[in-house]
């Protein structure tokens, strides 16, 4: 029911507000929210065709919904992929992808600094079903190459990583995957399509947690996989239909509207984050700042190339502290001295969020896994929002200045 076919060649900013509109007969300007679990069929014959998945038309909410379709089409347009499919959460999207692509005996290569739940899903849960995952360095391509096996089906990367913002070379990993007959999936949560389009650099699939920047205001959980129709429609569609990690229409609607402001939010939050990171670098109680937008970042040049010249909006830093206990005490002091920013574990919100990764987002990893990922007890992650940057600095300065 798309009354206006959009002309080709529109800018991403335009697609963000115009792509994927399923306008009803009422002609609403803001996208409709179809809050319904089922769809009435005009007749038995049509119903039979639709349920056999050959006809256009909606049948049941676990399979598809017009609001979810709008979100999927808009996100695909922004990522530059043929198609996208929604999921209940970012982890639901990764689960859907793995269920669709992998079977017992298959092998996966994954960076060892990806999101903690992703490591557990691949290593622990899929390990139970005979899928083996090798975890390798985020940045050392030779480790990825050495890990390849004849059974390798998937390379999984996340860039920049959470919370240390390590950046991997998407093009190099795509070449490696394709030469080995494998696929490359990139978790694009930290940059969003506003900054980084992994398929332009050769990635096959793009993963999103819509919970983060796509919603952008910390309201709902959502996820998506973007990629070619042959995988989205023919492989992942059946997984969602049978396994049920379906994106709710309400959440799809919230995230759909979030996409309209994604570009301007990302620009403003990146600018805040850069100013904040530059300031942190000058504080004597901060021993190291992790932010791709800083010249001191080990992959600064690569990040600027891959991420539209932007560092993203997540800044992590180590506070001083001689041993892990002292470092944790200091980190907790800085966090507990804030009065404006939120102590939480989400990111991608307009509200700045401060996190102690070692005891929260990465708290379920073993100490060995945390060490391997380089996440110390003095590490603090700040997901910079839209408050005035001077207020964010002042909020952190209170704790930093009163450290012993």
Binding mask 3-42 for ligand PLP (x = CB under 6 A): ----------------------------------------
Q: Residue 32 Cβ, how far from ligand PLP at the closest point, in Å?
A: 24
189 near ligand PLP, rule: CB under 6 A = yes
Signed CA dihedral, 63, 117, 110, 193: sign only? positive
Q: Taking CB under 6 A as the criterion, which residues in 244-303 touch ligand PLP?
A: none
Question: What is the x/- site pattern for ligand PLP, positions 57-96, by CB under 6 A?
Answer: --------------------------------xxx-----
Give how many residues touch ligand PLP by CB under 6 A: 14
Regarding 115 and contact with ligand PLP (CB under 6 A), the answer is: yes
Q: Does 158 bind ligand PLP (CB under 6 A)?
A: yes
CB of 89 to ligand PLP, least distance (A): 3
* Residue number with CB closer to ligand PLP (83 or 93): 93
Span interacting with ligand PLP, options 207-215, 243-251, 320-328, 336-344, rule CB under 6 A? 207-215
Is 162 a residue that touches ligand PLP (CB under 6 A)? yes
- Tell me the residue nearest to ligand PLP as measured from the CB: 90
Residues that bind ligand PLP (CB under 6 A): 89-91, 115, 118, 158, 162, 187, 189, 209, 211-212, 221, 223
């Amino acid at each position: 029911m798309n009354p206006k076919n959009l002309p080709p060649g529109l800018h991403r900013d335009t697609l963000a507000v115009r792509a994927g509109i399923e306008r009803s007969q009422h002609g609403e300007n803001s996208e409709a929210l179809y809050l319904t679990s089922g769809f009435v069929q005009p007749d038995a014959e049509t119903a039979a065709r639709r349920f056999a998945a050959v006809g256009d038309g909606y049948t049941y909410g676990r399979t598809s919904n017009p609001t979810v379709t709008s979100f999927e089409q808009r996100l695909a347009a922004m990522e530059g992929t043929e198609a996208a499919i929604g999921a209940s959460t970012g982890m639901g999207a990764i689960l859907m992808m793995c269920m669709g692509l992998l079977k017992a005996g298959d092998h996966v290569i994954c960076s060892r600094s990806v999101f903690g739940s992703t490591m557990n899903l691949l290593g622990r849960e899929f390990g139970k079903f005979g899928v083996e995952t090798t975890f390798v360095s985020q940045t050392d391509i030779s480790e990825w190459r050495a890990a390849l096996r004849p059974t390798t089906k998937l390379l999984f990367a996340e860039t920049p990583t959470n919370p240390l913002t390590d950046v991997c070379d998407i093009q190099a990993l795509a070449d490696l995957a394709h030469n080995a007959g494998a696929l490359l999936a990139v978790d694009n949560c930290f940059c969003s399509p506003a900054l980084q389009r992994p398929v332009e650099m050769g990635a096959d699939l793009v993963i999103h947690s819509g919970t983060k920047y796509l919603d952008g205001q910390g309201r709902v959980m959502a996820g998506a996989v973007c990629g070619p129709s042959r995988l989205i429609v023919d492989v992942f569609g059946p997984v969602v239909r049978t396994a049920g990690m379906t994106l709710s229409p309400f959440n799809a609607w919230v995230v759909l509207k979030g996409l309209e402001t994604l570009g301007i939010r990302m620009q403003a939050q990146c600018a805040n984050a850069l100013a904040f990171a530059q300031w942190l670098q000058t504080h004597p109680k901060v021993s190291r700042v992790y932010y791709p937008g800083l010249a001191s970042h080990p992959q600064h040049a690569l990040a600027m190339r891959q991420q539209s010249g932007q560092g993203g909006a997540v800044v992590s830093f180590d506070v001083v502290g001689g041993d892990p206990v002292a470092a944790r005490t200091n980190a907790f002091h800085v966090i507990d001295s804030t009065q404006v920013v939120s102590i939480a574990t989400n990111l991608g919100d307009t509200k700045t969020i401060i996190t102690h990764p070692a005891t929260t987002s990465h708290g379920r990893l073993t100490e060995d896994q945390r060490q391997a990922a380089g996440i110390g007890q003095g590490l603090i992650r700040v997901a910079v929002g839209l408050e005035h940057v001077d207020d964010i600095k002042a909020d952190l300065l209170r704790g930093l200045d009163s450290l012993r």
